[in-house]
Structure 1
Amino acid sequence: MEPSSPIRSDGTPGERPGAPPSRPLDALPAPAARRARWIAHVVALLLGAAGLSCALALPFAPVWADRSEVSWPAADEPAVSTTALLAPYRPAQFTANVPCPVLRSALDRPDPTMVLATVPPGSDRDGLLLSAEGGTPKLIMGERAVALPPLPADCDLTVRADAQRSTITVGTLPPIALPGVPAPEIFTFSTGLPPEQAAELSVTARTYTWFETAPTSLKLSLTGFAIVLAAASLLLLIAHTPPTWAGIRRAALRRIRFDLSLLLLIDAAVAVVLALWLVIGPISDDDGFAMLTIRNHAATGDIGNFYRWFNASEAPFTLVQHLMRWVSEYSLAPAWLRVPSVVAGMLTWLVLSHGIVAPLCRGVRRAGVHLLTAVFFLACWLPFDLGIRPEAFVALGTAAVLALLLRATAPGVRAPFGHLGGAALLAGLTVAVTPTGIAAVLIVLMFAPRIWRLLLLPGELPRWMAVPTRAVLLCCLGSVGVVAMFADSTWTGFARATAIHNEFGPNLGWYEEIERYSSLLGTSTWGTASKRLAVLLVLAAVLLAAAGVLRRLHRAVRMPELPLLIGAVLAVFATLWLTPSKWTHHFGALAGVAPALVAATVVLLARVGSLPNARREARQLGVAGAVAGAGAAALAFQGPNSWWQYSDFGVPWSDTATRPLDLPLDGPLPWLLAAVLVGVVAFGLVRLRALAGAWTLPATALFTTSALVMVAVLIGSFLQAPAHAGAFSVGRSSWDSVRARSCGIENEVETLPLAEDGTLALTAGPLDDTEQDAPDETRREPAGFVANQGRPGRPPQEPLLRRPPDELALRPTGAEAEPTDASPLMWDSLADGPRTTGEVTTGWFELPALRSGQELSVWVAGRPEQGNDLRVEFGQNTAGPEAADQVRALGSRELRDPPPRQLPFDDPRMGRAADWRDFRPWRLITVDAADLPAGADRVRLRATDATTDEQGWLAFGGPAVRDVVPLRDVLDGGVPALVDWPISFLFPCYVDYPRVSHGTADSPGLLITPPGGEGSMAFDPSYGGVFTGVPAQSRRWETPSRLRGDPGFTWGHVLSVSYDLDRDVYDRTTRRVRQGGADGDGEYPFEEGNLHP
């Protein structure tokens, strides 16, 4: 039965809420009007179905696929060994031809000879190794030694392999089939034969290029049709129930009145905070990784992972990356790249405050709730959503979907289908952002009963026609998400990328979600105090609001939509629960709907407290809320104010519990006492008939105060950071980039290569002019110290770098970097272990006059303090040029490590670990030229080891002179530098990265690594590291470096890479083939026997 229509005052039937208003067609004769309506619905149904079909066809539509082939040796080049980094490591097809003369020449050699290898010597990777030993050829394919037959006269050897099998052919003998043995992994093409004997040797390998595709004209047409038809579907839905002009005029007048209110000032304040945060806020742990995936798009046409996962595509969740790709074409300055997330943040604020909280919390003072929501929004958004990760856009999408659905299903709405269409469109686009965006679909499913009732609203045609038409139009709009995901990718690319991600992980199950919360409550950057508070307040709000809903208090306080808001927040938590990686940065997706729930919970508590017939509920919720709020605040402030990498520089409380103004906010007792105090005051101020309000006031005060304090801590600490950080801070760098005056940290790092003739030589003279008869100090072994035995190991070798004439760039002296020692001399007190004590004074070294930009340096290991002592003493030779040295002492200077600025967490109860500071590695300590005494031309070292603990020893090398060279001069040295992902975001000016494309990666000549060193997933095969082949076939030497003006911060490392063979001397050719979206190469064979067609 259809619902009855309302009756106007004149007795005529009125229009049903949500029903279509009268149309101009009503003026037509009845048969013509009915025929026109049928035609309109049929056309709408066909348009929606066509748009949906176009979108669903996109993953399988034909594309132009790149087919790349690597050939060695390169054309017109001798057959010399070379690096060849394939990503993935195995090719899709492999062919190696070893002509008989090549094989015979190897067999005739007296020593074992490697004929062909695709992996470095000693590697445990599954490569091909063909060698000759004792006149017999030996072949290893992966994990299998292949027994070759006696060689016939025609002994040409050919190896062919693909993903399922390998075949070896020797001359005209029957082939040797190796089913289940895939193509070998390739990191190199190398041979032990001289080029003239290996001239006919050849290898070709077709690489896997699943993701390097371009749409055909047919796919472009499908994409265009899908977008146009989706736009038409939205217009048809709006036309189906158009808003009345009177309603539009009233809404406009309301907006004008609103613009003159206090709400606009609050909105402006939020905008100012977000704009400030854009400049001073921290970088996220993934900004550098995500930025390189975007920057490498030009080489591949795909958003790949660059560093890991075989450079597998991020498809189909690449909508934000493509947005950032367009943004980055203008500038790579960090401040500019943050603009989209800040714009998304501001839109999220407007949607959740005006579209969710305002209709949900009707009947209260709007300005107060608006301000309360602003505090909770900033507390949830600031810690997580700045940068180029996608969570800020998921937050916007989920908030917009919820707001539109609330509006569409609100009682009395005259034009619901336009809002439903907008919700369907945004839900599809949100899914295209990242898997967490599936929360938007869950929110839609939560509204399914209400949406179904809207679809069933009676119209001009029968429901069997109207309902499918409306549903198809909505599905057509939702399918825009499929367009965004597959406009430039394929079903095969999606399937292969998913398989690779699952293989290497992280791939944690739903039952391991506890790992995310374990990280959140840890003391690393994953568990920053502000991140803790945002999540814990939301969890507390979910529990309190759910308790109120179970007692039906939401209806008593006129908040009937509160269960839907709880469901929306739980939808986001559910998607986090199901994601395979458990990082805390995913909590940023909560910023769209969770602040609204926290604000609504505070309003619920306040309203319940004022209900005269709900005093028991007020007491229960008030006490529970106060305990939950105190616990959340205490757990949050117990964490450090610690941030990723350089964002930590200068930030207060980065290594301790967060205690603003030294207040003990890291314990629950102060918060509970504050709650009790608020409650006592409330009892004294509230009249007896409204006594229940005092029970909930402490809980609301705790929620609001903790969030407000945390927002103040965040903004205040990052405003202080530039003043505390010395020469560099992320905020100062971002501000400089706004004014186009910064290249990030590249401008702030100094390298310290050895100066030309920087190694100082010992003189033959005595210690000083009072010790004419003393023996040469270099010839005696003082007690406790030994010379040149290197018990702790010798000081590290360094690359020899020089400036070519008329250039600023610092380059290796040859084709590859060569190592050198700062000094051939060293002394240490570890001869009999760390319990040894003693003293040593070296002989005098000749000290040249240091120029500006030069420093005196000493390599030091062990502890030169806390009971031990190491100092450099200066002198002046007072004898003539031909006479023996007569050295007059000019003073001394202690050599101490700069105070460390990156400290481990100082637990309030346990403190720091006793041995948290590690003195055992070699460090470089320098003395600036300006600090040398005038006239000094001699220098020596005096050391005292007076301690016997585990680190109570001392080792040092001879002094050396170094040049102070900006890092950018080393980066301009003409070789591609791989800046590792944790720090690459702050190298916006550097462009000469090794290219990763067409299934291959360039071999880097320079590595810029984070403070942790080379332990990067880019070099780790267990992560699918794209540059796995670099460590196994190269040597790396570090050029000492430091952060200008703040050497106590370990900023990173500069490593020159020297290969034992040529770099990337092979040919690569690429052609394009047309194939279906579900066609192409099969799955990658990760292991022998784990093969799929």
Structure 2
Amino acid sequence: MKYRISPAQLDLPAEPQPAADERPKRSRLGHWLAHVVACIVGIVGIACALALPFAPVWVDRTEVHWPAAELGAESTTALFAPYRPASFDAFVPCPVLRAALDRPQRTTVLTTLPPGSDREGLILTTRLGKPELVLGQHQVPLPPGACELAIHADSGQSVVTAGGQPPIVLPGIAAPEIFTFATDLEPRQVAGLSVTARTYSWFDTSPTDVKSTLITTVLALAVVSLGLLLVHSPPALGRIRLSPRLLPVDASVAAVLAGWLVIGPLTDDDGFAMMTIRNYEDAGDIGNYYRWFNASETPFTLVQHLMRWVSQESLAPAWLRLPSVLAGLLTWIIVSRGIVAPLCKDTRRLPLHLLTAVFFLACWLPFGLGIRPEPFVALGTSALVAALLKMTRTRLPHFWLGVAAFLTGLTVAVTPTGVSALVTVLVFAPRIGRVLVQHGVLPRWISVPTRVVLVGCLGTVGLVAMFADSTLNGVRQATAIHNEFGPSLGWYQEIERYTSLLSTIIWGASGKRMAVFLVITAVLITGACAMRQVHRWTGLVDLPVLLGSVVAVLVALWLTPSKWTHHFGALAGVGSALLVVLVVLLGRVGRLGHAKRESRLIGVFGGIAASVAAALAFMGPNVWPMQSDLAMPWSDTPVEPGLPLDSPALWLVTGATVGALTFGFVRIRALMSHRDLTGLVWTVMPASVLGLAALASVLVLVGSFIAAPQIMGDRFSIARMNWQSIRASSCGLEDEVETLPIAERLSPVDGSTELDGFTSGGTPPQEPDLRTENPGEPLHAEKPDDPKAPEGEVASTSASQFAWTSTTGGPQTTGSLTSGWFGLPRLTGNQTLSVWVSGRPEQGNSLALEFGASLPRQVRPLETHELRDAAPTDLPFDDPRHGRPIDWRNFRDWRLLTVDAAQIPAGADRVRVLAEDRTSDEQGWLTVSGPAVRDVVPLRQALDEREPVLIDWQMSFVFPCRFGYPQVSHGVATSPRMLISPPEGEGSMTFGTDMGGVFAGVPMQSQRFELPSRLRDAPGNTWGHLYSVRYAIERDDYTTTRHRERIGGADGDPAYPFKEH
């Protein structure tokens, strides 16, 4: 059925009103009462919502006390987040200070900083019979003969009191940063020493009964408001029309989304976002866990709370992806039926539905899967636009306006990009104004305010989502912390986002480029058409408001303080709708006889723009975060599946070819119908390029993500992990990584070492001394030799005491090495033979293990096994013009090369190292260790022995079964005993003080020893790194107490003192 439309505004005429003297007085009185009640409902709802940020809450004040025992103080780690406490009190009695003064050497009485730290902490020492105090980075002069010492500090000043002397007031010197509580004195010498530090409690709040009542009232009155808006106009219920011809397309989109749930990529933030949610059980707040002092994500935590409820059922990645897929399916339904179909009436539904599916998938697949909030912003903005369009096409305009207000509030509460909903409301403001001022049964001076407050009451539901679990002060402090550490970029730096989009790393993947560039092209073309009023000629009168809604999202991106490309996922809904409507417009304008000039201009410039956009998109690699990139086609090259899709010429030729075919079709139609359709020859060019580019992008995405797990087979892949979790259970990457602890160090038993250019030297990396005692059980940790080492720490060891290097004379040295024969035990199936190597064992150099069998007086060589690094799977981008960077492979770091038991020849009981250095370039050298036998042990056995395990933010999403992670709550963090880091190593924002890293104190006061590991059957892939952490002092040996206070929402702890004055 076709629907005729008019370019005129579709406002409903006011219903005829009976004369005043004909209205029953009771009915008129009822209308007045209803409006008064409705006005009160709206005003009360708005007032309650506006009161939420200021409403009283319970705050949990946490105090940290050290020493933890009365017997004496043991130095301990103390990871405060933030680093400074809200208040700090330390008391050093005379006997403690005298004990330190009696020592001839410099003695630390109390410090909150690890040795060698340049942070702004407290250091109290004695030297040459005098006490010395440093607060921050300021030397505090103590009076002569100072004995008893008391220190109090808060965010604004410090006060030092020495015995009975007048206090020394230090304005602007804030409480010290705390990473440790340490002393050089023996435990028996520090009796009476005490430290009490109260952590900041900005986010440790919970609603009082008053605030809970306000929340309930707002939600109840919002429901009442929606009901009142519904009855404000007489309901006109019509039957729902379902087109069976469209259902196969819907089913196909649903099937693609369901498959994408299994095979689709990780996002760069899945692990980060999920750990903020998992830590809620300990912290009672959605904090940042890894960085920003664990500052709250308030007020944009709506999606995190949704995911918190979902994660209570399971942490399997496939399950956690389900909400985003459902959001995508709802977005599809709204876009196809609530936006495109009403705008594109008089267009055949099946082709329109197919076109919508292609554009929607091209925009949604690269961004829409995972834990991030963008899929929900796309859903919210799409639903908002659909509701506002419906508002002017129904007999219930006020009801749909209320729905739009409700959607606006919720969308804003999702993420800063959700501000696009408010900008969209501004785009529709003229229409909203006309609906609000429509005539009613009562005068406008009462009916219009009533409608406004009812709509406003529904919009303030967003304040409930923002402030139900937070306060005004909490939002202020969280914002200040985020701004301090960043990224906090201005609107004028939006170019940074597009610079990242054009990069050749995960931010600039070809699929992401395609979605954004197509939408921007559509914005430019439709903007030009709107200025020429072409949309009115073609019956697409609502095109400007749809264009404005897309621009609203782009404007909101300009306003967000961070400029990551994953924010473009908010365009998936309205952006795909605009692309569809643009193609329809191009088809219609080409059929207009009086628009030939416009058709030619749009065709030429639109075709060029679309071709450049498509080529620029496919010039990017098909690269995705972390394990999603395993075996991914074109992950290090432009996307060229047999065709040069990265060439603008290809797309221009494609558009021209389609135009030529259209020309032939038009000539035939002209002869038959006598209609002039020559304009279609031009407009079909950009339309075809846009549609084909989107289709090619979808096919590349789906095809490559189907191919990658097939290449990996039974080895680890994201698709295999998700499929296993759906069919049974899976612990993700934890099931697939093998650790290689030392089982036996080999020693020379025959022959001597022959060195020519090589010398004895080179130090293989130290490793944690973890050993396999019982199969399947946690690894056993050997204790350090130091009797003062804290309980539970692990010793470090070296794989071999033998090592040789050709670096003594510099890289230009060449030579050869033949080591003596090492005794080789018989290896089991779960063991491997290994050597450490640094330098390049290829490209002119060589390294091998020669196996032999011992005879009475000699060793008979059996077989030589060449050792080379497996070809890396993570390659730099192969630029079409410049190729890869020169000398991009790094051979300088130590790597472990192995020979599995099955590769060792039968009868071998001897092994020796053979090496030749024949090159003299910068990396043309070799350093190699003696051989060692290692056990091949599942990662789980190593982790179980060393909990808590800190899994860095890039990795944590694929470890769903690991619950023993460090707690971060109430201003302190647990010190981890083992780290899982990404392939780049442990240099992460998690440990960076410049980013508010919560675990910044870990590298300051520990040694990290890597336990060698590998991804099962995946040579060349660096899955990550496993580090055992060893502290020289106790871990978290302090006590905490907590008490509850009632405060106002605008009250609480002051701002963090980032700058001392």
Give the structure-1-normalised TM-score: 0.93
Name the structure 1 match of 2:804.
827
Equivalent of 2:920 in 940, 945, 948: 948
Q: For the residues of structure 2 that align with 1:716 and 1:399, how far apart are their CA atoms?
A: 28
Equivalent of 1:992 in 954, 964, 968: 964
Name the structure 2 match of 1:111.
105
Equivalent of 1:214 in 200, 206, 209: 206
Query: Residue by residue, what CA displacement relative to the aligned partner does 1:994-1039 show, whole Å, maximum 9, x if unpaired?
Result: 0000100000000000001011101000000000000010000000
Q: For the residues of structure 1 that align with 2:780 and 2:76, how far apart are their CA atoms?
A: 21
- AA paired with 1:716? G
Query: Residue by residue, what CA displacement relative to the aligned partner does 1:80-100 show, whole Å, maximum 9, x if unpaired?
Result: 100000000000010000000
Residue aligned with 1:405, SS: helix
Please say which of residues 689-698 and 569-578 is displaced more in the overlay: 689-698
Structural mapping, 1:312-327, within 5 Å: 312-327=295-310
Kept after mapping to 1: 8 A contact 2:490/2:561: yes
Kept after mapping to 2: 8 A contact 1:19/1:241: no
Equivalent of 2:257 in 274, 284, 287: 274
Structural mapping, 1:676-687, within 5 Å: 676-687=656-667
Equivalent of 2:538 in 557, 581, 584: 557
Residues 1:235 and 2:227 aligned together: yes
Q: 1:670 Cα deviation (Å)? A: 1.1
Name the structure 1 match of 2:92.
98
Equivalent of 2:651 in 641, 663, 671: 671
Kept after mapping to 1: 8 A contact 2:772/2:935: no
The number of equivalent residue pairs is: 1036
Residues 1:580 and 2:561 aligned together: yes
Name the structure 1 match of 2:846.
869
Name the structure 2 match of 1:853.
830
Kept after mapping to 2: 8 A contact 1:622/1:696: yes
Residues 1:417 and 2:398 aligned together: yes
Kept after mapping to 1: 8 A contact 2:509/2:620: yes
Q: For the residues of structure 2 that align with 1:531 and 1:807, how far apart are their CA atoms?
A: 44
Residue aligned with 2:554, SS: helix
Name the structure 1 match of 2:980.
1008
Unaligned runs of 5+ in 1: 1-14, 767-775, 880-884
Residue aligned with 1:158, SS: strand
Kept after mapping to 2: 8 A contact 1:237/1:418: yes
Q: For the residues of structure 2 that align with 1:298 and 1:539, how far apart are their CA atoms?
A: 42
Residues 1:538 and 2:533 aligned together: no
Q: For the residues of structure 1 that align with 2:804 and 2:688, how far apart are their CA atoms?
A: 64
Query: Structure 1 18/164 Cα, relative in aligned 2: closer, same or farther at 3 Å?
Result: farther
Q: 1:741 Cα deviation (Å)? A: 2.6
Name the structure 2 match of 1:748.
736
Residue aligned with 1:593, SS: helix
Query: Structure 1 735/644 Cα, relative in aligned 2: closer, same or farther at 3 Å?
Result: same
- AA paired with 2:861? A
Equivalent of 2:697 in 707, 710, 713: 710
Residues 1:733 and 2:721 aligned together: yes
Name the structure 2 match of 1:923.
895
Residues 1:813 and 2:813 aligned together: no
Name the structure 2 match of 1:1088.
1060
Query: Residue by residue, what CA displacement relative to the aligned partner does 1:212-239 show, whole Å, maximum 9, x if unpaired?
Result: 1111111111100100000000000000
Q: 1:485 Cα deviation (Å)? A: 0.6
Kept after mapping to 2: 8 A contact 1:289/1:981: yes
- AA paired with 1:31? K
Residues 1:200 and 2:172 aligned together: no
Name the structure 2 match of 1:773.
none
Q: 1:840 Cα deviation (Å)? A: 1.2
- AA paired with 2:779? L
Residues 1:78 and 2:72 aligned together: yes
Q: 1:193 Cα deviation (Å)? A: 0.4
Residue aligned with 1:990, SS: coil
Residue aligned with 1:35, SS: helix
Name the structure 2 match of 1:47.
41
- AA paired with 1:448? A
Equivalent of 1:354 in 337, 343, 359: 337
Q: For the residues of structure 1 that align with 2:17 and 2:62, how far apart are their CA atoms?
A: 62
Q: For the residues of structure 1 that align with 2:152 and 2:921, how far apart are their CA atoms?
A: 61
- AA paired with 1:80? E
Name the structure 2 match of 1:474.
455
Name the structure 1 match of 2:764.
795
Q: 1:197 Cα deviation (Å)? A: 0.4
Equivalent of 2:477 in 469, 487, 496: 496
Equivalent of 2:551 in 570, 573, 594: 570
Residue aligned with 1:832, SS: coil
Query: Residue by residue, what CA displacement relative to the aligned partner does 1:305-327 show, whole Å, maximum 9, x if unpaired?
Result: 00000000001100000000000
Residue aligned with 2:289, SS: coil
Q: Percent identity?
A: 59
Name the structure 2 match of 1:172.
164
Name the structure 2 match of 1:761.
747
Residues 1:960 and 2:932 aligned together: yes
Q: For the residues of structure 2 that align with 1:209 and 1:852, how far apart are their CA atoms?
A: 54
Query: Residue by residue, what CA displacement relative to the aligned partner does 1:592-651 show, whole Å, maximum 9, x if unpaired?
Result: 200010111111111111111111110000111110111011001100000001110011
Residues 1:783 and 2:783 aligned together: no
Q: For the residues of structure 1 that align with 2:694 and 2:805, how far apart are their CA atoms?
A: 55
Q: 1:946 Cα deviation (Å)? A: 1.1
Query: Residue by residue, what CA displacement relative to the aligned partner does 1:829-882 show, whole Å, maximum 9, x if unpaired?
Result: 112111111111000111111112000000011111111111101111122xxx
Q: For the residues of structure 2 that align with 1:380 and 1:975, how far apart are their CA atoms?
A: 42
Name the structure 1 match of 2:355.
372
- AA paired with 2:1044? R
Equivalent of 2:391 in 408, 411, 418: 408
Residue aligned with 1:857, SS: strand
Query: Structure 1 29/1023 Cα, relative in aligned 2: closer, same or farther at 3 Å?
Result: same
Residues 1:399 and 2:392 aligned together: no
Equivalent of 1:1054 in 998, 1006, 1026: 1026
Query: Residue by residue, what CA displacement relative to the aligned partner does 1:313-356 show, whole Å, maximum 9, x if unpaired?
Result: 00110000000000000000000000000000010111111111
Q: For the residues of structure 2 that align with 1:63 and 1:166, how far apart are their CA atoms?
A: 29
Residue aligned with 1:686, SS: helix
- AA paired with 1:432? A
Structural mapping, 1:24-63, within 5 Å: 30-63=24-57
Q: 1:141 Cα deviation (Å)? A: 0.2
Give structure 1 regions of 4+ aligned residues with deviation exceeding 3 angstroms.
Answer: 18-23, 25-29, 803-807
- AA paired with 2:746? L
Q: 1:398 Cα deviation (Å)? A: 0.4
Please say which of residues 731-740 and 531-540 is displaced more in the overlay: 731-740
Q: For the residues of structure 2 that align with 1:309 and 1:151, how far apart are their CA atoms?
A: 43
Kept after mapping to 1: 8 A contact 2:110/2:183: yes
Query: Structure 1 840/363 Cα, relative in aligned 2: closer, same or farther at 3 Å?
Result: same
Q: For the residues of structure 2 that align with 1:189 and 1:869, how far apart are their CA atoms?
A: 51
Residue aligned with 2:945, SS: coil
Kept after mapping to 2: 8 A contact 1:395/1:589: yes
Kept after mapping to 2: 8 A contact 1:55/1:482: yes
Kept after mapping to 1: 8 A contact 2:218/2:461: yes
Q: 1:804 Cα deviation (Å)? A: 5.4
Name the structure 2 match of 1:12.
none
Please say which of residues 70-79 and 382-391 is displaced more in the overlay: 70-79
Q: 1:783 Cα deviation (Å)? A: 2.1
Kept after mapping to 2: 8 A contact 1:45/1:472: yes
Supply the RMSD in Å over aligned alpha carbons: 1.6
Residues 1:694 and 2:675 aligned together: no
Query: Residue by residue, what CA displacement relative to the aligned partner does 1:347-380 show, whole Å, maximum 9, x if unpaired?
Result: 0111111111111111111111111111001000
Query: Structure 1 581/926 Cα, relative in aligned 2: closer, same or farther at 3 Å?
Result: same
Query: Structure 1 311/631 Cα, relative in aligned 2: closer, same or farther at 3 Å?
Result: same
- AA paired with 2:827? L
Unaligned runs of 5+ in 2: 1-9, 671-675, 784-791
Residues 1:184 and 2:176 aligned together: yes
- AA paired with 1:1058? R
Kept after mapping to 2: 8 A contact 1:18/1:414: no
- AA paired with 2:25? P
Name the structure 2 match of 1:17.
12
Residue aligned with 2:748, SS: coil
Q: For the residues of structure 1 that align with 2:505 and 2:16, how far apart are their CA atoms?
A: 59
Give the structure-2-normalised TM-score: 0.96
